[in-house]
Structure 1
Amino acid sequence: MPGLLLSDDLIFTSRIVATARAHGLTVVTAKTAEALLAKAKDDPPAGVILDLHNPTLDVAKLRAELPGVRIVAYGSHVDVERLKAARQAGCDLVLPRSAFVDKLETDIAGWLL
């Protein structure tokens, strides 16, 4: 299964998908958590990337629905509480958006495989 991405930000989604493609990876995108879970049930992914600012996201519910799946999340560096909550909800890696962008090129394969 390809990796999954939850994001409703078209420009950022395009950047992530293009980076994955450059590494020979496929990323299936979803704009809502419900759509992401439906795609994951069809073919469980090894990794999921979450935009913590997606309005449909409930990280704890998603973590419970995807046991054993690597979850990498990113969000605004000033939203410390949301980043902390994502860690507490069981995300494997939580990064401020700037760090996510810095690591995207080098780490995306590890996040999705």
Structure 2
Amino acid sequence: MARVAAYVPDLLFGSNVLGLLRAADHDAALVGDEAALRAWLASRAGSGPRLLVVDLTDDGPARLELVGRLRAAGNLDGVRSIAFYSHVDVEVRRSAEAAEFDLVVPRSRFAREGAALIERVLT
């Protein structure tokens, strides 16, 4: 079991992500903004495997900037990460790959294979 924060502001898709995480017996939470993400990171410090799932389909550059600030401050040390993006947004994909996410995939692939992708990143 891993502790997972899903930064997925789309509530419908976010509840799907939360459902697949909980079905795989992960301690999962949806976070909707920077304050909630920072609170999640602080509350889970030193508590075993951690994963951050980030939705880049809407406002991707701002979320990439946030993740960059968190990485630079050391807040994401030991936290694995997955980002998903709109398949037509090539620039966001390239930026996410440059931001050192462990895995960057189109949203449609994450929707189909999310559980397997999460397990792959965690192992």
Same fold (TM > 0.5): yes
- Asked whether 1:97 is paired with 2:107, we answer yes
Aligned to 1:62: 70
Structure 1 stretches of 5 or more lacking a match?
none
Deviation of the 1:38 alpha carbon: 1.9
Aligned to 2:84: 74
Aligned-residue identity in percent: 34
Q: Deviating runs (4+, > 6 A) in structure 1? A: none
CA distance in 1, matches of 2:83, 2:71: 12
Aligned to 2:54: 50
Aligned to 2:32: 31
Structure 2 stretches of 5 or more lacking a match?
none
> Quick one: structure 1 residues 105 and 68, their matched pair in 2 at CA, closer, same or farther if it must change by over 3 Å?
closer
Deviates more, 1:102-111 or 1:79-88: 102-111
Please say if residues 63 and 89 of structure 1, whose CA atoms lie closer than 8 Å, have aligned partners that are also in contact: no
Larger RCO, structures 1/2 (Cα 8 Å, 6+ apart): 1
Cα root mean square deviation, aligned: 2.0
Deviates more, 1:26-35 or 1:9-18: 26-35
Residue correspondences, number: 113
Please say if residues 81 and 103 of structure 2, whose CA atoms lie closer than 8 Å, have aligned partners that are also in contact: yes
